[in-house]
Amino acid sequence: MCRGRCKGIVPSYWQRRSPARSRVRSGAGSAPSPWDENTVPPSFLPQLKTPSILFICTGNICRSPTAHVLLMHKARATGLDVEVDSAAISDEERGNPPDRRSVAEAKRRGITMHAHVARQVRKSDFDRFDLIIGMTAQHCAALRRLAPAGTEDKIHLFTEYAEGIEGDVPDPWYGGQKDFIEVFDLIDHGVAGLLAKLQAEAR
């Protein structure tokens, strides 16, 4: 969605404790153990990091905010804790809200687009997020040029998670509402695949 005016790119984790509780039994005839009541000191409980996902598109007003809101919506429905954000390669749309056609399609499907202001990807995002998912191969290439050493493996193409689909997620900005519907369907499919992967890793 550069529209010929794209500028160059500018080169919290939440933690939760596992609900599972260990039980340590004392030997027969020994003094009662303070750990016998299905509990252990908090310092012994495993620390599980909430997965964090950043979606990337060109201007951060169509594709990436749609993926953002869909993952939030689906994760909430399944009870999965996840940190989600979205950002742009270009700074052209910085400060703008989501495209009204993206908002309308989400609303048509019963999903309220969260309050969102487009922003450009930052180098600090590569430390903050576990997965940085570009909508096109070009986005991924730009992200790799920006990525600090050792963070390149976090970058993935969105359609890696959309079973049966390869290549880029097309930019609907140049089309009509029909294009927004088709892209919404594609993103919905990919987000479902991503969520399934996150759930499997959380088990």
* 121-151 pLDDT tens trace: 999 999 999 999 999 999 999 999 999 999 9
Tokens of 109: 């499907």
* 76-128 pLDDT tens trace: 999 999 999 999 999 999 999 999 999 999 999 999 998 899 999 999 999 99
On whether the CB atoms of residues 169 and 193 are closer than 8 A, the answer is no
On whether the CB atoms of residues 64 and 55 are closer than 8 A, the answer is yes
Count of alpha carbons within 13 angstroms of residue 120, beta-carbon side: 16
For residue 140, indicate whether it is catalytic: no
**Options 23, 127, 171, 203, the catalytic residue:** 171
**Options 62, 63, 125, 168, the catalytic residue:** 63
pLDDT at residue number 130: 97
Domains of the chain: 52-202 (3.40.50.2300)
- Report the DSSP beta bridge partners of residue 55: 86, 133
What is the number of residues in the chain? 203
Which SS3 state, helix, strand or coil, does residue 146 take?
A: helix
Tokens of 152: 């390149």
What is the DSSP code string of 100-121?
Answer: HHHHHHHHHTT-PPPP----B-
Number of CB atoms found within 10 A of residue 24's CB: 12
For residue 57, indicate whether it is catalytic: yes
* 46-55 pLDDT tens trace: 456 899 999 9
pLDDT at residue number 114: 82
Number of CB atoms found within 10 A of residue 154's CB: 18
Distance in angstroms (rounded) separating the CA atoms of residues 92 and 28 = 71
On whether the CB atoms of residues 56 and 134 are closer than 8 A, the answer is yes
pLDDT at residue number 34: 41
Taking phi over 0 as left and psi of -120 to 50 as alpha, with beta for the rest, 167 belongs to left
Count of alpha carbons within 13 angstroms of residue 59, beta-carbon side: 19
* 151-200 pLDDT tens trace: 999 999 999 999 999 999 999 999 999 999 999 999 999 999 999 999 99
pLDDT at residue number 48: 64
Q: At what angle do helices 177-202 and 100-108 cross, to 10 degrees?
A: 70
pTM of the model: 0.78
The number of angstroms, rounded, from the C-alpha of 117 to the middle of its chain's C-alpha atoms is 16
**Options 6, 16, 57, 109, the catalytic residue:** 57
For residue 5, indicate whether it is catalytic: no
